[in-house]
Amino acid sequence: MISKSGTLRRIVFIILIVIILLYTLFPLYWLFLASLKSRIDLFTIPPKFFFKPTFEHFKKLFIYTTLETGEEQQTRFLFWLTNSVITAGTGTLLAVALGTMAGYINSRMNYRGKGDFMFFVLSTRMLPPVAIIVPLYIVFARFRLADTRLGMILLYTLIGLGLATWIMKGFFDGIPTEVEEAAFVNGYTRFQAFVKILVPMVKGGIAATAGFCFIFAWNEFTFASIIATRYAMTLPPRITALMGTSGFEWGIAAASGYILIIPILVLFILIRKYILMGMTFGVLGRK
Amino acid sequence: MTNLEYIKYARKEKLIKYFFLWPALIILLFLIAYPFIMLIYYSFFNFSFLRPVNTKFIGFKNYVNILTDTYTWERFIFTFKYVALAVSIQFILGILIAHLLQSEFRGREAVFTIVLMPMMLCPVVVGLFWKYMFNTEWGIMNYFVHNVLGFNQVEWLGTERNSLWATIIADTWMWTPFMILLSSAAFSSIPKYLYEAASVDRASNFFKFTNITLPLSAPILILALIFRLMDAMKQFDLVYTLTGGGPGDATQTVSFTLYKTAFQYFYTGEGSAWAFILLIIIIGLSSILIKILNYLSERNR
Amino acid sequence: MKKAKWLFFALAFMLAVSFAFASGEKEGAEKTKKEVTLTVVWHGGVCADMLLEIAKDWTAISGVKVEGALVGYGPAWHDKIASEFAARGSGFDLACWDSQSIGEFAGGGHCVLLNPYIEKSDKLKMTDWSKEMLARYGEYPDASGDIYALPINADAEGMHYRKDLFEDPMEKEGFKREYGYELNIPQTWSELRDIAEWFTRPPDLYGLGMMGGREYDYLTSVTNCLVWVFGGELWNPETNEIKGYIDSPASIDGLKFYIELMKYCPPGVETWGWDEVNTAFQTGKVAMAHNWFYFFGAMDDPEQNPYSDVTGYAILPGEVGRDGMFRREFSMGGQGIGISKYSKHVQEAWEFIEWYEMFEQQKRYGAVCQTGRQGVLDSEEWLANNDYNKLFRVAFNYTNDYWHLPEYAILLDILQEESHNAVTGKKTPEKAMADCAERQEQVLIKAGYEIKRTPKVDMPDTICPNPCGKPEIIPIVVE
């Protein structure tokens, strides 16, 4: 690394990283600034980089000031937040758990109609939600699942299942069967081998899958706005229902965008090492 | 194993198979298949959920109307253009960035998390926000183009070509992290000793990348491509909030048209037919990719 | 050990599912008690907040709780109501929808006919609202007298301008020299055009801000005004004809005028909704703005509008058409509130509405938004509230509206698309409107309407609010 081409390489590398960071970060930064700008500051020409920040947008998310008397009350933000956490969290857990199991089976065993099953699982992700929402809603209503948390959890599990099954199958496919056979020789049952040996080997895949499933469920808008009305209402549809007297509240939307992103960010900070971790005995390529 | 032990083993295998598979299958059947069958059923009628009078069985007329309408083909062409451009850019960018992030450097984990952030935002917020940024007068994009670089103000969302690219830019910003994440997970799973062996043979980085990294992670990468393609074809939230299908009908993707038909117009029958046609196309595309995927998986074994 | 693992997984699974299931039981709990909760669907905003605040008093009186299920403004709001109706669900009891959607919802048989309730009521009378109001917000079909919704928020288009620019002596002098008449609130669109041209000094100031976006009804709520004042019409409700109406020479005049006006607006106006118009005015970019009365409250508020103390309000101008007649017409807006037929608490819902539409409640509401109740609109107090309420009262006489048909949403979308094509130059106005008429008639035919052909005229404007079709320009002066 002391050679000249090594330093040059390093510089190019750093420049690339910086460009990527700028490209990703600038809109995020701009969005963050927007959440702190007063309405007037939001629309100045030319756009302002320096201004006096205000926390009123964040405040409005949690506190509602009555129009007639001016007293302050709590909004139902926490309630919606709780719903989001429960529905997206449980949905993700179930999707990842079921998907990992299903992915494993499909990777290792053959059965009649396997190709069809896998294809069917994938096809659940092919249809735009808008197409299916009214019939789905009718089915939900018939089974008393409309506007319930259980209904939303089932829905989110469903959305995540397709992704989870396929990705996990992909990762399991990369592990040669010798691994299990070695385990069997040592007296493990298949289930034990699965849990004790294989699952740890695909931690990266599980982490990535959990990340995706959670993001999709947490940010899900279409189904939540139609199927949930009161009891199961999550955050995303509420965010867009923000309208002040002048029109759409960009400041509040930006603020809520950031509040929404926090749980996902936390999740990713927790799981990132599983994704990035290089395995000493790698998975995708053992002969 | 003795015969008896083998039978017990086989039975256990079967048990495991069913126990593991059936929960997934049941949920799917119940929640997707049933409404989907309803959908197909309605596509043969001129039915509207909202205006249920005059419901007649019209056979394939919905399909014929859609397929013979010139608007339909304009929409499909636009959608393919958009998906092809957006997904290819995301695919290449995603893989390259993931590769860059493979090398150990200080702050790598932080950079990784930051790079993934666009994907974590709610699509509706992203669409609205890019709309704000693309505004001709007070948008930050035109600030850079016009005030900083000195070009004319671009009407980002006002002309056909511009709005296509505006949508692609917003979509790429948001979804490249998807590719980055999956690619990273895949790259991380390649055993280090393979790279070390290649280094011993004095292989260049380029060689390592094209002969070790890419081939071994190809199955996962293709899988990511499949998912990204499917999601892009279904893409609705972003177009809806960013352009509303405009200007005119320039950025109306097929998915958007489906929304309009099924929700704004509430032509349930016709909307169902649209959904089915869209589904067939996505199935077609995915099937091709899945075949490639299977081929690559087998080869790697 | 292995058994324990199994148990653990099974247990965790059960726990997750039962927890979710338990929280799903909330719905059942409410029904067993005597306490009833009504759900109202509306788009989020100040007016909805006000409704819910006032509703708290009703809870104190009757014990019935009123909760809001507020959605974002735009298609999501209409979609939510439509989906619930489509599924025949009881997710909400009351819904507020745009006046134009009455055809869709009442026509589909999804809301409760209110006439018997009003007749039996001792708190409300049909005459509490002007005939216009009731007809616009709740009547379906047109002129049948069947009311399915009561006005909950009345709205119309208006304009506001920069008094400091209009009253500045230098400006007045320069304008008079250039155009030959006094700079004043325009009474005709041609005058407005002149004023807009005068004040267009890019890049800092432009003459006019107006809506032009493709989404929802942004563009057409403006182009319709122009189509109407030039003598055009959208359709003929008696014969169901569209060809010869929206594509008549008079209508095209209106559309072309819009395209000309765009020259005096900031660039990008073809993507603007009311939000952008408000912003443009609040940042001092435009001398005049064409927008809904709904937003005048924000214009009056110094925290939102730095120019609030120099903002003047006015009623939109009229125009002299090809036939030499003067017409003044513009779009109406606002919502009506109706009761869902599938609600489990129709009687309670009615009682709430009955109480809410009474004078006292509407007076409170009128402090923040526009009410439809005639008594409040006429009251001294309300009129003195601010500068523009008295204008609103008069303005409502000049309103015209879209088609009140169940197919409204489809016809609107087609008109929006083709008008937008004309305005962005993708098609010529003539071709765009011809295509529009063709497509719209197809929609009507598909829905089973019969179209009776009548001879075409240049100026089809037959439904014209008073005063109309007079050969001289009638200015509006409001004290």
Provide CATH code, domain B43-300. 1.10.3720.10
**Euclidean distance between CA atoms A124 and A170, whole angstroms:** 18
Bridge-based pairing of strands C150-162 and C330-339 is antiparallel
Q: Which two structure tokens, joined as six digits, stand for A40?
A: 């007037």
**Euclidean distance between CA atoms C92 and C110, whole angstroms:** 12
**Quick check: C147 and C114 in contact, CB under 8 A?**
yes
**Residue among B107, B117, B135, B76 nearest B277 (CA):** B76
**Residue among A261, A154, A165 nearest A215 (CA):** A261
Q: What is the dihedral of CA C161, C166, C171, C175, to 10 degrees?
A: 80
**Euclidean distance between CA atoms C458 and C448, whole angstroms:** 28
Task: Please name the residue of chain C whose CA is at the shortest distance from the CA of residue B153.
Answer: C267
**Euclidean distance between CA atoms C350 and B36, whole angstroms:** 38
Q: Which residues pair with C98 in a beta bridge?
A: C335
- Judging contacts by C-beta atoms under 8 Å, the chain A residues touching residue C386 are none
Q: Find the DSSP H helices in C33-123.
A: 46-62, 75-86, 102-107, 115-120
Bridge-based pairing of strands C326-327 and C319-320 is antiparallel
**Euclidean distance between CA atoms C273 and C166, whole angstroms:** 25
C146/B193: higher pLDDT: C146
Q: What are the C-alpha distances in Å from B201 to residues A115, A281, B198, B208, B216?
A: 41, 20, 5, 11, 19
Q: How confident is the model at residue B172 (pLDDT cuts 50, 70, 90)?
A: very high
Task: Please name the residue of chain A whose CA is at the shortest distance from the CA of residue B267.
Answer: A131
> Is residue A136 a part of any domain in this protein?
yes
- A198 at interface of B, judged by CB pairs closer than 8 A: no
Subunits with 3+ C-beta pairs closer than 8 A to B:
A, C
Q: What are the C-alpha distances in Å from B262 to residues A129, B88, C84, C109?
A: 11, 30, 14, 19
**Euclidean distance between CA atoms C407 and C404, whole angstroms:** 8
Q: Which two structure tokens, joined as six digits, stand for A100?
A: 């990992």
**Euclidean distance between CA atoms A245 and C298, whole angstroms:** 5
Q: Which pLDDT value is given to residue C167?
A: 92
In tens, the pLDDT along B231-253 reads 888 888 888 888 877 677 778 88
In tens, the pLDDT along C440-468 reads 999 998 888 888 888 877 777 765 665 56
> Is residue A36 a part of any domain in this protein?
yes
Single pTM value for the model = 0.83
Q: Closest to C82 (Cβ–Cβ): which among B136, B243, B263?
A: B263
Bridge-based pairing of strands C399-400 and C330-339 is parallel
- C422/chain B closest Cα distance in angstroms: 9
Q: Which pLDDT value is given to residue B271?
A: 87
Task: Say if residue A170 is in the same domain as residue A243.
Answer: yes
**Euclidean distance between CA atoms B242 and A26, whole angstroms:** 19
How many domains does chain A contain in total? 2
The domain ranges of chain B are: 1-31, 43-300
**Euclidean distance between CA atoms C444 and C407, whole angstroms:** 8
**Residue among C378, C377, C388 nearest C291 (CA):** C388
Place of tokens 């060809």: C243
**Quick check: B236 and B255 in contact, CB under 8 A?**
yes
- pLDDT in tens for each of the 287 residues of chain A? 445 567 888 888 888 888 888 888 888 888 888 888 877 777 777 777 888 888 888 888 777 777 777 777 777 888 888 889 999 999 999 999 888 888 888 888 777 777 777 887 887 788 788 888 888 888 888 777 788 888 899 889 888 888 898 888 888 887 888 888 888 888 877 777 778 888 888 888 888 889 889 998 998 888 888 888 888 888 888 776 765 555 677 788 888 888 888 888 888 888 877 777 644 344 454 43
**Euclidean distance between CA atoms A252 and A241, whole angstroms:** 10
Q: How would DSSP label each residue in B70-81? A: HHHHHHHHHHHH
| Helix C189-198, helix C249-261: angle, nearest 10 | 20
Q: Which pLDDT value is given to residue C6?
A: 52
- C427/chain B closest Cα distance in angstroms: 10
Subunits with 3+ C-beta pairs closer than 8 A to A:
B, C
Domains belonging to chain C, first-starting first, are 36-155+332-400 (3.40.190.10), 156-331+406-470 (3.40.190.10)
> Is residue A59 a part of any domain in this protein?
no
**Residue among C276, C279, C286 nearest C206 (CA):** C286
Q: Which pLDDT value is given to residue C29?
A: 42
Q: Which two structure tokens, joined as six digits, stand for B189?
A: 């799973």
Q: Which segments in chain C show pLDDT lower than 50?
A: 1-5, 8, 22-33
Q: Which pLDDT value is given to residue B24?
A: 64
Task: Say if residue A181 is in the same domain as residue A135.
Answer: yes
Q: Which pLDDT value is given to residue C17?
A: 55
- Judging contacts by C-beta atoms under 8 Å, the chain B residues touching residue C75 are 240, 263-264
Q: Which two structure tokens, joined as six digits, stand for C97?
A: 């929808």
- Judging contacts by C-beta atoms under 8 Å, the chain A residues touching residue C368 are 67
Residue A211's domain is classified under what CATH number? 1.10.3720.10
Report the first-to-last Cα separation within chain B, whole angstroms.
Answer: 27
- A27/chain B closest Cα distance in angstroms: 8
Task: Say if residue A104 is in the same domain as residue A243.
Answer: yes
Q: Which pLDDT value is given to residue C195?
A: 94
Task: Report the phi/psi class of residue B150: left, alpha or beta, with left for phi > 0 and alpha for psi in -120 to 50.
Answer: left
> Is residue A233 a part of any domain in this protein?
yes
Contact flag C304-A39 (C-beta cutoff 8 Å): yes
Q: Which residues pair with C400 in a beta bridge?
A: C331
Bridge-based pairing of strands C286-292 and C468-470 is unpaired
**Residue among B14, B15, B84, B21 nearest B253 (CA):** B84
In tens, the pLDDT along B83-123 reads 999 999 999 989 988 888 887 777 788 888 888 889 888 88
Bridge-based pairing of strands C65-71 and C37-43 is parallel
**Quick check: C472 and C326 in contact, CB under 8 A?**
yes
**Residue among C344, C354, C388, C353 nearest C370 (CA):** C388
Q: Print the domain residue range for A123.
A: 77-276
- A71/chain B closest Cα distance in angstroms: 29
**Quick check: C160 and C281 in contact, CB under 8 A?**
yes
Q: What are the start-end ranges of the E strands in chain A?
A: 63-65, 72-74
> Is residue A72 a part of any domain in this protein?
no
Q: Which two structure tokens, joined as six digits, stand for C197?
A: 């041209």
